[in-house]
Structure 1
Amino acid sequence: MSADASIRLAWGQIPSPGEVGSELERFAGRRMDRIIAIVVGVGSLALGVQALLAALGGMQNATFSQYLVIMLVFVPWALMLITCVIGRGMRVAAGVFASTYLIVLLLWPFVAIRAGADPADQPWIFYLVNVAGTATVVAFPLALQVAWVFVGPLLYGAVRLIQGGFQPEFWITTAFDVSFTLILGGVLVALGWMFRSVAAGVDDARGRAVASYADAASAAALEEERVAVAALMHDSVLAALISAERAHSDRERDLAVGMAREALTRLANAEASTLHEGNDTPVQIERIVDDLCSALAEQGVAPVVEQFGTGIVPDRVARAIALAARQAIGNAAEHAQARGLEVIVEGHGDTGLTVKVSDRGDGFDPDEVPADRLGIRGSILARMAAVGGTAAIESGADGTTVTLGWSAR
């Protein structure tokens, strides 16, 4: 296989983001659950076959109730083995088997043969006490597993004594059987808990490592983007300045103005997904109102946009003002938690409009904003300058007000 084919094959096997979130988040935990299910299946098969042979060996004079008890135990047991092999439905099947076995234990005193019972010979249900205990490791949470470790063996001991008529010789053998199943069941539950805890720790460490790598990759990508934006802005501004210096005719001056506007637009759109400046098609300011209402809904805040008057502005102006106001709304939601957030759009007919975004946060000093942050300088100030508008920011202890304006004159 060629190198290109190998790369394409590996690329095609990379899971989608949804698959990563659902599968790799508990990668070790899922593998450990699968291993536990296989071990439970192997152990259940060995002890279950032994119990089944013992049950079939004593069916010469069996009654209907005894046949029913055997069916209640071994049908769910067989289903549990099948699910452990195919890897699906294990929890449900194991839970059904553990529950039906508990029911059989409760019914055992009524269906067991008491006459001639030998205390040295365990009944066939004894072989399944720890099988049901391991089934709880697959099916139930830790609290129920621990409860079964005590309830299952003790219940078996009670029904065994009832079967033997509480004769003294039954007490000794039953105490030995119960103590053995208690110890073995506790060890099995402890091992299952330990292995799952280790797997959970591995998944947690993997998750933190992936998150750290993602943060580092994001920071590196952001830094590269800032370097690229800085280089682009340097070239754009330098070209605009050279054109302005060499402009002697009206056409050359218009060209220099257009280049400056393009540079400002690129700066404004450096952190936005919308890269188009728009055109001069006149639009109603209601479109700006609708856009800002959508911005408030995206931030999950209750205030509505208040509109006063009407107006018509070019499409590029409406686009720039809406994006600049969106940035101001996002800043208010992030830094002031949208306290006292108000958005007012005031139209001045065909002469212009004004948009005010205010909040009641703690305020900030615009001069102290780091130079590499484009939220205010790029998305608000440069964007409004690119369309010949104005942007004013007033901030203090009582809150922050961002005023955006554009005039046809």
Structure 2
Amino acid sequence: MLGIPTHLAPRVNAWSTVRAFHAAAIGSLGAAVVALLLFRIADPDVHVIGAVAALLPMLGMIGVHVQFGTWRSAVAFLVVGGVCAWWFALVVAREIPEPWATSYLMSLVVVPLVLVGGAGAVPGRVVLWSIAGFGVGRLATTIANIQSGDSYHPLVLAWVTLAFVAAIVLAAGRSTARSQRVQPELLRSAREEHVSAYRAGVEAEAAAILHDTVLNHLGAIALAPDGPMDEQLARTVEADVAMITGKEWLAAEPAGATGAAVHAFEHVVEEHRALGLDVTVTGDPAAVGRLDPAAVTALVRAVGQCLANVRKHAGTDSAEVSVFDDGVACTVMVVDDGRGFDEQETGADRMGLRNSVRERIGRVGGDVQVWSSPGTGTSVMMSVPYPALTGSVPTAGHGDGAAS
């Protein structure tokens, strides 16, 4: 109940209670039929067909009321149910001589009137309709008793049922009141948790972008020969400064912009080619465009960081980027034949692979695996599931080490 919005909780819980009452009412009629048949088996001279027939219209009206649930269907049920209760009680009073049995059977036919009479889902109204149903049933059985010359029967089971309905509604009302007091705190906590998670994601992405741009550019400038800055590097630095000082880095590629996604992928490859890295692209780059916007942005930026790592650390001037589509996920592999490294021995201050690749891909539900050792080159495989299957790709191979 605490998970239901505060303004809906009373009505939802009341409807649930009413539905449970309807099921119990049908069970009461079923118990009456079984009891009549047992009396018939025990004494063939007892004629119970009329009593069984009296229950059928009541059962049908339960279905009608459950279907419509209006005050009109409730009134119709009480009218038809009252007639059926009178008919049933008249047959039982004449055919079954045992007072306890008569009282029990009459209670069974009054119980549905107590349980099903309610219209709507307001707790107070449920109780009032139950009282009205009990009154109709009590009146109908009393008239039948007078007509048959039978004695008064207390209908203990019907009284117990009415008390049970009142107790249930009272308990539900108190529980709802408690939830209304507690739920605002829960909703506020949920909002704060959501905001904290969002803030943490933004901060992690900001740190990754800062690493991908400023630190990489500083490294490129330090390695550049003396003299004026390379024009391509200058343009890249200017574009990245404009990006990190604005709000564009918070936005993903537009939804459905397959061409824009592929262009972004090709653009990051061309950037590193312009910086002197020989990049070979194989496979199906169009698969990148089938990802959702956030995944496209994460994957493109992660590929850019992998290529930056090749330029700065691999000791080679070539790399291969392969794109695969297996129908479940888009997988991109960045492979080089450089010096390689041992990820377990990489310092904690080296954030490139950890922040800019692993955590970035992980935030969009993807998986990263790295194969590398000194002298054997490096292969980084990034798999990101397509939108309809997000979360279905196994997350194996995540490590704690990092390389920059």
Q: What's the TM-score, normalizing by structure 1?
A: 0.40
Q: What's the TM-score, normalizing by structure 2?
A: 0.41
